[in-house]
């Protein structure tokens, strides 16, 4: 018969007919359907046993309680803890996305690294831990051998009083250097101001939850100020009270921030005029006799001088001119504040990851003193530091002793900056103004100065001059890209570390993070690394670090909590920890061993709010009173010699007013006026965009609006009126130029912006990290030229004269 | 969807919709099959075509 | 062969001469060959091609492990190893920790068979989970709560998994090359027909059971999909 | 070289010339093919569609060509069901145009969905309450019908016609064409309506939402009416274009005039209803949802001018032109009227798709506009190119116009 | 016969207090982390990025310094009706492949990714823009390690399908499974809340059964400050908002004349 076309057709027809009587067509159809539903490249998360591990968030000093949901060894979700007093259930967006910071390989240093590319390129080669530690130790040992130990400088971004901070300072000192430099923070301003006015640099807190009138001078309550977990909860408490007519929040800020928009009253004062406004309010309070006369006469000194100054120089008429706030508004705030039962005037600038202005803070603090709301419910709370045990003193050898006594590079604590503890901006200046960097080896811990410090152009110039930089950052941040050696720390989800009293918390609380997962990469806890380095330097240095590991140091310090008696290690949530108590709680543990075990599983030790009474000696000034007229400042001016013969001490300290006012909270005036730069650039912060050391998790970029970031451009917010003067429309490219630099951004027009001010978000413009974060927007820190806050010596970053043009 | 599918519901909506649909399909299919059969018949000589 | 094939065609040709042109040269035979070939292909060759088979790491005897149980098919017997966790989730194939409970006991006589030796040396000693191949693995889009079915629904394990408490040898693991499903989901029969409740594990089977038991509300999509 | 394949007794250009004519269309088709491959392999991120513009250029093309393809079913209806014999001279062209439009649209829809290989779930797991299911079922079924209608035309090719079996089969298919046309009319009627229904039932979009009769919003009926009013016009345009390109008269005037007349009357009926519908929308539906008429046109390029263009310039004016015998008998005016009519229908579909999606419903949301990427344009133009190719091939090799030989006798 | 499941008709809903909401975005992050939502390198392409819970920003339209901002967190509204009285939301009634349905027992609108063919009709039908299309495959580059945080409780999506808020339905299943294991037929009220409600640091989101008059959500929606977005469309969303500010309540719906919802 042969294979003809006809026969083949018949064969085919028969075949097709036959096939339809087999399961093949519908089975294939079913399988193909399934195939199209399970593409092999779509990840399938493995199933397993669900576990929940309790810990504490370590991304910011807020110290929120977190519980991590795990599937076998994988962490799959971070949630807030309801059994933690700081944040009953909620956490901030960054904390929520923390797992991306744990797992994203391109965000992390996956092991000890040696730089192979040029500085800033991020090209590293992985080395062994032994080699890394040996390299650092040899470097320090050689400085010690050559008696140049002061050339070892460490920069620390950990919060003050944390054990890791102590260890870093200890290593620096034990090696023989006085140059332990801290990153600036709002806490520094609080501490300095309180030391001057109250003689007490103990932790200060604002008792927001119990307050009924919150007068906020620029604090980004909803932008991440203090611990966002706690503050947002406090906000809910205040809103709940407000809905029953029992609480008012007034936000003083030039921009309609979230806090301003959400508060009961938004007062738009010109940036940098908070001191004038506070003193204007004080004027009305004193004029109308609304202040707490009993407190003022019993517990303050210098009131008469203060009264004279305020009544003489800060009349509402004058304040209107300075601040742009109406007379009625000033009167209303004075009335509201003074007539409230538990008012509090709080001071801050954005999140508080950078310093504030000292005289502004003191002016605001004067309001609190007028109302006498110190250590009273709803007021400001000054308390003792956590009763942690102190570590044994270091035993420096001759080399170290010599080194420690050399002057600090940043001049903090010298006659020029008598009240400053640490001034990293000065360190940058010193390096940039020397031919050869006086700093030989820089150790950077939990900080990203190359990105977060104002005037970041200068910072990067200084970093480039430093011969050897060692970064301990777990993240591939800008500063670590400048480093020659990276000894990556664990992330906060992989290590045990303490959170010593979260920022701004009224009651005493000690938090402890725990390893939620086994280390994902070849990293080591920085505390352990420090001990290892010290041991490798030489025996003398090693003798200051007699511990097996970091955890034993933590345990030794925690013993102090036990020894202080009382305290609780379990929180039930029935009664908030900020409720005022008259009798002390607990303890709810049997022995120190029991306490430590419980702290390690539940991550907390705390005492409910029980501040010391006002007459129990919290004012440790010369007069043992709250000083409106600051005697210590008078002393520093009158008794200390001037730098140059015949010089003016006040001028040297940066104070421009004269007479008694110079020693009291006062408004310094605006000295920035410049015809060429008619506008003001004010950086602002957002709760959903990290602007500090730890990066934003990529998740958080979902929450950024596209009029804040679009593609690779960030936006500067401008009032539509101002924009029209420059013929700028929504979305236009603009060039913003200051003395320091010119940057390109896009314009976002908003009626929430004060005319004449350009607002730029902090946190964009990264050049490191990975594709989620890198090359998005511009960092306003680039624009900020060097400038010093009077008396404190900290940088002035909140206002920068600029001009704009269409770009 | 065929009536023995698990998502099938015996309600008015389904009956009307699929009723009409399958009717239309059946009509078209039947017509084509008839034309095919007629062709086969004529080609094979079972019947005589009218205009050929 | 040739004769028999031509026979029917010659009858047809005799009856309808016009057909002759079409039926000659074994045309029917071609059709028939195609037809039968397709049947053979669809019913016999296709299932062979469709499934790949893989050996399990070693043999496991349910019978041996259930020797002391009164009824090897009883839910409680199964739950000894295929247990529920505290949060109600189901362990599925037990992990090494579970095996350890008995196999680490120095007093029980162990190491009887080669398979057991494999287990003890390659997995137990190495602390390595046994990479068992699951016969009833559902795709990622499926959510299945054993607690709802076993604890609330009081359905026996064998209703879906079939009786295998007395089995001494693990069946050969076969996997669909296209869909990647184990053969048990569609069922051993290529036709897809089933006689027992455990013969198939497709969505229709879930829905059928829900409906039969009067739980049509559980045919809502999100009950079984995630 | 292909002379054996050409219909008998007609003149066709040389094969080389024909290839030359086809080349640009093939190039566009290839360009579209490349875009299609990109979209299928890399996904729909190749387009500028977004979560706001879920439907975009392709759907406008789809709805446009399907509406214009309505000439096929409506002419079929008039020819086989109503019995207008004069239309037999144009029905082949109408069927081919319909086939092109529907197959092109179906292919485009295949690329438009996110998981094309799962496309058949529409049929297997149909949700019968969805207008789009009705559309899909009817379009595929009707595409089948069109194929059945197209096959006998193909079988009339000189070479194919020589095969006796095919000749008989083609002949038999012709016999059942009445029934096929009737069921085609039924299917087509429903999906043209459902296409309108698709938008009318988006009750969350006050710009598109309409009340209606039973399960069908008024747009259902308006879309049917507008499709049958414009479809014949499109058939006329295509025929006239062919006549222009071939420099021959292909269809007797009476067929064209009949179609134009019917179109005119249907269009005027449609305009009456459409204006009534617009008024109800302005004064009832929009305010009920909280919108004033002008709220819809606050921002963006899509202004009130579109309403004016759709209703007056591309609606009432062509309707009057087509209804007036004097005007429509003028070739230039006829083509102008047809073009206006077709433009109006495309504009209508554009408004229902793009403008509906561009207008935010939530008051604090914002207006967005959309520009297609080259991939989207390429696929759109490829469908047009495909149309030219199929129609050119058909014209060259099939006796599409039965009266061609009569109207253009070859000398000698 | 013994009933294996609780047959009670639940109607899960949400109340978001806009006075408390600070616009911080934690709900968005919590949602994305809980539900394995893909994060792309460029999340500023808002028209194509996916966020089941989206925070919208609105202002009162006044000039400096009277300008005020409000944030509307917008999950899927899980509408009860289509706006013309049909007892399924418009996204459900338009879905071609029955990939999305309204579960009458929970009031939750489901979305089955393996069923969805990606025609996007539901997106066009939803006035709240609550539905998101996967324009890309989920972004989990090989060796980046990000797939390690994926939760097995929610299946990751392939490109070309729609996804949307599910009211964390898997958490309901989690709670049910736990209850069954404990021998309980019904779950306790506090056992099932969504990830966003749980995460909100200002406790602005309350989630629960609207049919239970004793639950806080049922009480909150009776407040004079309670409203829903686009109430006039009559889609009967199950997400309510609270605000003491008049202008906020006003801009939640399109403002023609007085408020009077169309009958349905």
Residue A511 and residue A386 in contact, taking contact as beta carbons nearer than 8 Å:
no
Q: Is the pLDDT of residue C5 over 70?
A: no
pLDDT at C30: 83
Question: Phi and psi for A250 in degrees, rounded to 5?
Answer: -115, 125
Q: Do E67 and E55 form a contact (C-beta atoms < 8 A)?
A: no
Decide: C207 and C219 in contact? Cβ < 8 Å. Answer: yes
| Mean pLDDT, rounded, for A310-317 | 95
Residue D257: how many CA atoms within 13 Å on its side-chain side? 11
d(CA D355, CA D369): 9
Answer whether A touches B (≥3 Cβ pairs < 8 Å): no
- Structural domain A679-806, CATH architecture: Beta Barrel (2.40)
Select from A275, A214, A268, A266 the least CA-distant residue to A242. A214
Digit-coded pLDDT (tens) for E91-137: 999 999 999 999 989 999 999 999 999 999 999 999 999 999 999 99
Q: What is the pLDDT of residue C3?
A: 45
> Across the interface, which of D113, D203, D209 has its CB nearest the CB of E119?
D113
Return the H-helix or E-strand segment holding E240: strand E239-242
d(CA A804, CA A17): 78
The fraction of chain D above a pLDDT of 70, given in percent, is 99
| pLDDT tens digits, one per residue of A278-299 | 999 999 999 999 999 999 999 9
* pLDDT class of C145 with cuts at 50, 70, 90: very high
Percent above pLDDT 90 for chain A: 85
Please determine, looking at this structure, whether the domain spanning A113-187+388-606 carries the CATH number 3.40.50.740: yes
Task: Provide the mean pLDDT of chain D.
Answer: 91
* Residue ranges per structural domain of chain C: 2-52, 55-93+132-224
Cα A478 to chain centroid, rounded:
17
CB-CB contact of E132 with E164 (8 Å):
yes
Per the prediction, chain A carries an average pLDDT of 93
Tell me the mean pLDDT in the region D141-148.
Answer: 91
Are A727 and E64 in contact by the 8 Å Cβ rule? The answer is: no
Say if the Cβ atoms of C87 and A50 lie within 8 Å: yes
Confidence at residue A647, expressed as pLDDT on a 0 to 100 scale: 80
> A–E: how many Cβ contacts below 8 A?
218
What's the pLDDT at A535? 95
Q: Which of A472-486, D137-151, D201-215 has the highest mean pLDDT?
A: A472-486
* Angstroms from A296 CA to nearest CA on chain E: 35
Q: What is d(CA A471, CA A474) in angstroms, rounded to the nearest whole number?
A: 9
In this prediction, residue C1 carries a pLDDT of 40
Phi/psi-derived region of residue C187, left when phi > 0, alpha when psi is between -120 and 50, beta in every other case: left
Q: What number does CATH give the domain A50-107?
A: 2.20.25.90
Does E233 contact D368 at a Cβ distance shorter than 8 Å? no
Nearest to A698 among E39, E201, E204 (CB): E39
DSSP-assigned letter for residue A749 = E
Closest CB from A11, A24, A38 relative to C33? A11
- CA distance between the termini of chain B: 43
Q: Under DSSP, is residue E163 helix (H, G, I), strand (E, B) or coil?
A: strand
- Domain ranges (residues) in chain D: 49-370
Task: Say if CB D124 and CB D138 are below 8 A apart.
Answer: no
Task: Tell me which residues of chain C, numbers 87 to 106, contact chain E at a CB-CB cutoff of 8 Å.
Answer: 87-89
* pLDDT for the residue numbered C15: 54
Residue C21 has what pLDDT? 56
User: Which of C2, C21, C31 to probe by mutation at the A interface, max A CB count within 10 Å?
Assistant: C31
Q: Do E251 and D363 touch (CB under 8 A)?
A: yes
Confidence of residue C16 (pLDDT cuts 50, 70, 90): low
* Averaged pLDDT for residues E3-32: 85
Closest CA relative to residue A604, chosen from A386, A382, A380, A351? A386
Q: What is the ipTM of this complex?
A: 0.93
Alpha-carbon distance of A67 to C191, in angstroms, equals 50
Q: Which of A382, A374, A349, A92 is nearest to A230 (CA)?
A: A92
pLDDT at res. E258: 52
Do A218 and A350 contact (CB within 8 A), yes or no? yes
Question: What average pLDDT does this structure show over A328-353?
Answer: 95
**For E138-163, what is each residue's pLDDT tens digit?**
999 989 999 999 999 999 999 999 99
Mean pLDDT calculated for residue range D359-377: 91
**Which residues in chain D touch residue A37, judged by CB atoms under 8 angstroms apart?**
118
Q: With an 8 Å Cβ cutoff, is C7 touching chain E?
A: no
Q: Give residue E8's pLDDT.
A: 53
Residue C13 predicted with pLDDT over 70: no
Burial code (b: 16+ CB inside 10 Å, e: under 16) for A488-513 equals: bbbbbbbbbbbbbbbbbbbbbbbbbb
* pLDDT at residue C25 in the model: 53
Pairing of strands A380-382, A204-206: antiparallel
Q: Is the domain defined by E14-251 classed in CATH 3.30.70.20?
A: yes
Q: How far apart are CA D357 and CA D57, in angstroms?
A: 12
Please give the CATH topology (third level) of the domain spanning A204-382: Dimethylsulfoxide Reductase; domain 2 (3.40.228)
Residue A593: Cβ within 10 Å count: 11
To the nearest whole Å, the CA of E256 is away from the closest chain D CA by 5
Do the beta carbons of residue D208 and residue D356 sit within 8 Å? yes
Question: Are A47 and C92 inside 8 Å of each other by CB?
Answer: yes
Cα D350 from chain centre: 13
Mutate which: D53, D57, D127, vs E, most E CBs within 10 A? D127
The helix/strand count (H/E) of chain B reads as 1, 0
List chain A domain ranges: 5-35, 50-107, 113-187+388-606, 204-382, 630-663, 679-806
Average pLDDT over residues A584-606: 91
Nearest to C179 among A17, A31, A49 (CB): A31
State residue D371's pLDDT score.
92
Q: Which residue has the tokens 């007028």?
A: A370
Min Cα separation C116/chain A (Å):
25
Q: Which residues contact A383 (CB under 8 A, 6 or more apart)?
A: A202, A203, A205, A506, A508, A611, A612
Q: Quick check: A143 pLDDT over 80? A: yes
Q: How far is residue C103's CA from residue C94's CA, in Å, rounded to a whole number?
A: 13
| Closest-CA distance of chain B to residue D200, Å | 19
Mean pLDDT of the A605-613 span = 87
**What SS3 state is found at A794?**
coil
Confidence grade of residue C18 (pLDDT, cut at 50, 70, 90): low
Can you tell me the mean pLDDT for D43-54?
A: 95
Domain range summary for chain E, segments of one domain joined by +: 14-251
Question: What's the average model confidence in pLDDT over A224-249?
Answer: 91
Mutate which: C9, C14, C15, C19, vs B, most B CBs within 10 A: C19
CATH superfamily for D49-370 is Formate dehydrogenase/DMSO reductase domain (1.20.1630.10)
Token digits of residue A144: 């010690």
SS3 state of residue A325 = coil
CA atoms within 13 A on the CB side of A278: 33
Are A445 and A154 spatial neighbours (Cβ–Cβ below 8 Å)? yes
B28–D168 CB contact, under 8 Å: no
């Amino acid at each position: 018969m042969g294979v003809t076309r006809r026969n083949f057709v018949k064969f085919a027809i028969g075949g097709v007919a036959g096939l339809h009587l087999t399961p093949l067509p519908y089975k294939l159809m079913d399988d193909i359907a399934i195939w199209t539903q399970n593409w092999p490249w779509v990840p399938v998360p493995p199933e397993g046993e669900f576990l929940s591990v309790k810990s504490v968030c370590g991304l910011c000093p807020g110290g929120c309680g977190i519980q991590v949901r795990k599937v076998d060894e994988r962490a799959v979700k971070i949630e807030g803890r309801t059994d933690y007093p700081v944040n009953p259930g909620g956490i901030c967006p960054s904390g929520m996305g923390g797992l991306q910071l744990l797992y994203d390989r391109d965000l992390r240093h996956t092991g000890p690294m040696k730089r192979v590319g040029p500085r800033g390129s991020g090209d590293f080669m992985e080395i062994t831990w032994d080699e890394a530690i040996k390299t650092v130790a040899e470097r320090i040992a050689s400085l010690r051998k050559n008696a140049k130990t002061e050339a070892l400088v460490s920069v620390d971004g950990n919060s003050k009083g944390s054990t890791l901070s102590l260890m870093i300072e200890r290593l620096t000192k034990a090696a023989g250097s006085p140059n332990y430099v801290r990153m600036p923070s709002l806490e520094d301003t609080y501490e300095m101001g309180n030391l001057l006015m109250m003689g007490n640099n103990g932790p200060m807190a604002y008792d927001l939850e119990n307050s009924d009138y919150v007068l906020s001078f620029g604090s980004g309550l909803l932008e991440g100020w203090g611990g966002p977990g706690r503050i947002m909860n406090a906000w809910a408490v205040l809103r709940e009270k407000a809905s029953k007519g029992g609480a008012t929040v007034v936000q003083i800020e030039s921009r309609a921030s979230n806090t301003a928009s959400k508060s009961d009253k938004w007062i738009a004062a010109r940036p940098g005029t908070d001191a004038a406004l506070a003193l204007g309010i004080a004027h009305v309070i004193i004029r109308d006799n609304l202040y707490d006369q009993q407190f003022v006469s019993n517990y303050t000194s210098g009131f008469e001088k203060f009264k004279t100054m305020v009544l003489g120089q800060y009349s509402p008429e004058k304040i209107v001119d300075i601040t742009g706030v109406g007379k009625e508004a000033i009167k209303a705030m004075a009335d509201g504040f003074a007539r409230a039962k538990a008012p509090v005037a709080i001071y801050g600038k954005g999140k508080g990851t950078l310093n504030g202005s000292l005289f502004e803070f003191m002016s605001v603090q004067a309001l609190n003193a007028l109302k006498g709301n110190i250590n009273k419910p709803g007021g400001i709370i000054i308390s003792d530091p956590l009763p942690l045990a102190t570590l044994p003193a270091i035993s420096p050898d001759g080399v170290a002793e010599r080194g420690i006594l050399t002057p600090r590079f940043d001049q903090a604590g010298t006659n020029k900056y008598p009240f400053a503890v640490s001034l990293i901006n000065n360190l940058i200046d010193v390096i940039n103004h020397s031919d050869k960097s006086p700093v030989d080896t820089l150790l950077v811990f939990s900080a990203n100065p190359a990105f977060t410090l104002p005037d970041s152009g200068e910072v990067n110039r200084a970093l480039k001059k430093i011969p050897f930089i060692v970064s301990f950052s777990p993240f591939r941040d800008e500063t670590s890209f400048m480093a020659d050696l990276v000894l990556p720390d664990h992330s906060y989800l992989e290590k045990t570390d303490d959170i010593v009293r979260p920022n701004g918390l009224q009651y005493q609380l000690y938090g402890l993070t725990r390893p939620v997962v086994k280390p994902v990469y070849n990293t080591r806890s920085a505390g352990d690394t420090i001990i290892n380095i010290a041991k490798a330097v030489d025996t003398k240095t090693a003798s200051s670090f007699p511990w097996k590991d970091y955890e034993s140091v933590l345990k030794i310090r925690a013993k102090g909590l036990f020894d202080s008696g009382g305290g609780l290690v379990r929180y039930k949530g029935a009664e908030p920890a900020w409720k005022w108590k008259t009798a002390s709680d607990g303890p709810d543990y049997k022995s120190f061993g029991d306490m430590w075990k419980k702290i390690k599983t539940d991550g907390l030790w705390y005492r409910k709010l029980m501040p010391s009474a006002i007459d129990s000696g919290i004012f440790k000034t010369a007069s043992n009173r709250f000083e409106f007229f600051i005697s210590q400042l008078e002393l520093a001016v009158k008794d200390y010699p001037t730098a140059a013969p015949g010089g003016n001490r006040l001028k040297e300290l940066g104070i421009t007013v004269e007479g008694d006012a110079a020693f009291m909270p006062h408004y310094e005036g605006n000295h920035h006026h410049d015809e060429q730069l008619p506008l003001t650039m004010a950086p602002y912060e957002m709760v959903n965009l990290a602007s500090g050391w730890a990066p934003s998790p990529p998740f958080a970029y979902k929450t950024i609006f596209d009029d804040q970031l679009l593609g690779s451009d960030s936006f500067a917010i401008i009032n539509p009126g101002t924009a029209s003067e420059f013929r700028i429309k929504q979305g236009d490219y603009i060039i913003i130029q200051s003395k320091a630099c010119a940057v390109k951004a896009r314009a976002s027009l908003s009626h929430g912006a004060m005319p004449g001010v350009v607002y730029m978000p902090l946190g964009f413009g990264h050049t490191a990290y990975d594709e989620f974060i890198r090359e998005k927007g511009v960092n306003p820190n680039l624009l900020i030229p060097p400038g010093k806050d009077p008396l404190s010596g900290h940088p002035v970053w909140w206002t920068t004269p600029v001009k704009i043009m269409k770009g | 969807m065929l009536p023995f599918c698990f998502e099938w519901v015996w309600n008015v909506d389904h009956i009307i919709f699929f009723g009409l649909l399958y009717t239309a399909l059946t009509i078209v299919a039947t017509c084509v099959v008839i034309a095919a059969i007629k062709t086969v018949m004529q080609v094979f000589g079972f019947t005589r075509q009218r205009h050929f | 062969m040739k004769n028999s094939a031509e026979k029917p065609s010659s009858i047809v040709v005799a009856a309808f001469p016009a057909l002759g042109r079409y039926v000659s040269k074994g045309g029917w035979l071609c059709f028939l060959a195609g037809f039968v070939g397709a049947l053979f292909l669809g019913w016999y060759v296709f299932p062979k091609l469709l499934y790949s088979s893989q050996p399990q790491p070693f043999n496991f005897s349910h019978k041996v492990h259930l020797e002391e149980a009164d009824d090897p098919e009883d839910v409680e017997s199964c739950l000894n190893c295929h247990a529920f966790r505290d949060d109600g989730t189901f362990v599925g194939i037990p992990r090494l920790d579970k095996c350890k409970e008995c196999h680490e006991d120095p007093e029980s006589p162990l190491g009887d068979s080669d398979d057991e030796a494999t287990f003890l040396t390659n997995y137990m000693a190495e602390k390595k989970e046994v990479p068992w191949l699951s016969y009833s693995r559902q795709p990622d889009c499926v959510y299945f709560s054993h607690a709802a079915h076993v604890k609330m629904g009081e359905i026996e394990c064998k209703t879906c998994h079939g009786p295998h408490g007395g089995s001494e040898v693990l069946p050969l693991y076969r996997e669909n090359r296209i869909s990647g499903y184990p053969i048990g989901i569609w069922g051993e029969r290529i036709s897809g027909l089933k006689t027992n409740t455990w013969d198939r594990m497709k969505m229709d089977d879930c829905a059928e059971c829900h409906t039969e038991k009067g739980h049509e509300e559980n045919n809502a999509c999100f009950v079984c999909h995630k | 070289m292909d002379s054996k394949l050409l219909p008998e007794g007609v003149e066709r250009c040389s094969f080389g010339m024909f290839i030359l004519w086809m080349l640009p269309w093939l190039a566009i088709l290839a360009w579209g093919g490349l875009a299609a491959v990109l979209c299928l392999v890399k996904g729909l991120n190749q387009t500028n569609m977004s979560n706001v513009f879920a439907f975009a250029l392709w759907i406008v093309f789809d709805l446009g060509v399907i509406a214009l393809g309505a000439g096929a079913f409506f002419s079929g209806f008039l020819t086989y069901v109503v019995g207008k014999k004069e239309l037999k001279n144009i029905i082949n062209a109408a069927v081919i145009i319909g086939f092109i439009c529907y197959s092109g649209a179906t292919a485009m829809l295949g690329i438009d969905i996110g998981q094309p290989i799962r496309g058949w779930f529409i049929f297997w797991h149909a949700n019968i309450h969805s207008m789009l299911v009705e559309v899909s079922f009817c379009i595929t079924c009707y595409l089948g019908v069109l194929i059945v209608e197209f096959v006998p035309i193909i079988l009339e090719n000189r070479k194919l016609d020589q095969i006796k079996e095919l000749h008989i089969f083609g002949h038999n298919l012709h016999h059942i064409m009445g029934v096929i046309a009737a069921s085609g009319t039924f299917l087509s009627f429903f999906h043209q309506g459902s296409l309108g229904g698709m938008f009318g039932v988006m009750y969350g979009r006050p710009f598109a939402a309409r009340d209606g009769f039973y399960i069908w919003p008024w747009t259902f009926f308006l879309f049917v009416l507008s499709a049958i009013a414009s479809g014949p016009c499109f058939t006329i345009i295509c025929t006239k274009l062919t006549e222009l390109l071939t420099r021959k008269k292909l269809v007797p005037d009476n067929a064209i005039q009949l179609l134009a007349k019917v179109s005119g009357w249907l269009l005027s009926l449609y305009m009456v209803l459409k204006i009534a519908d617009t008024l109800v929308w302005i004064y009832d539906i929009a305010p009920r949802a909280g919108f004033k008429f002008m709220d819809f046109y606050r921002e963006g390029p899509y202004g009130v001018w579109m309403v004016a263009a759709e209703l007056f310039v591309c609606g009432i004016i062509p309707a009057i032109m087509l209804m007036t015998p004097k005007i429509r008998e003028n070739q230039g005016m006829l083509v102008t009227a047809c073009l206006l009519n077709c433009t109006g229908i495309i504009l209508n579909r554009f408004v229902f798709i793009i403008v509906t999606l561009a207008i935010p419903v939530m008051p604090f949301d914002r207006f967005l506009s959309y520009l297609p990427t080259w991939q989207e344009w390429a696929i759109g133009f490829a469908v047009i190119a495909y149309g030219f190719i199929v129609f050119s091939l058909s014209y060259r090799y099939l006796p599409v116009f039965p009266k061609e030989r009569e109207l253009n006798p070859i000398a000698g | 016969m013994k009933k294996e499941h609780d047959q009670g008709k639940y109607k899960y809903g949400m109340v978001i207090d806009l006075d408390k909401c600070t616009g911080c975005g934690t709900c968005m992050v919590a949602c994305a982390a809980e539900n394995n939502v893909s994060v792309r390198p460029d999340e500023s392409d808002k028209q194509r990025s996916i966020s089941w819970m989206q925070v919208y920003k609105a202002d009162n339209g006044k000039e400096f310094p009277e300008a005020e901002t409000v944030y509307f967190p917008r999950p899927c509204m899980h509408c009860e009706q289509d706006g013309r009285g049909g007892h399924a939301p418009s996204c459900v009634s338009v879905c071609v492949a029955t990939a999305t349905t309204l579960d009458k027992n929970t009031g939750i609108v489901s979305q089955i990714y393996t069923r969805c063919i990606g025609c996007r009709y539901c997106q066009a039908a939803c006035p709240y823009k609550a539905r998101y299309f996967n324009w890309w495959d989920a972004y989990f580059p090989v060796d980046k390690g990000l797939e390690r945080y994926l939760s097995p409780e929610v299946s990751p999506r392939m490109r070309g399908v729609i996804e949307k808020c599910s009211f964390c339905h898997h958490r309901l299943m989690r709670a049910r499974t736990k209850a069954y294991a404990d021998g309980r037929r019904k779950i306790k009220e506090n056992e099932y809340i969504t990830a966003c409600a749980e995460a909100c640091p200002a406790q602005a989101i309350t989630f629960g059964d609207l049919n239970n008059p004793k639950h806080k959500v049922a009480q909150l929606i009776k407040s004079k400050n309670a409203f829903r977005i686009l109430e006039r469309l009559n889609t009967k969303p199950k997400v309510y908002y609270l605000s003491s500010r008049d202008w906020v309540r006003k801009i939640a719906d399109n403002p023609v004349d007085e408020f009077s919802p169309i009958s349905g």
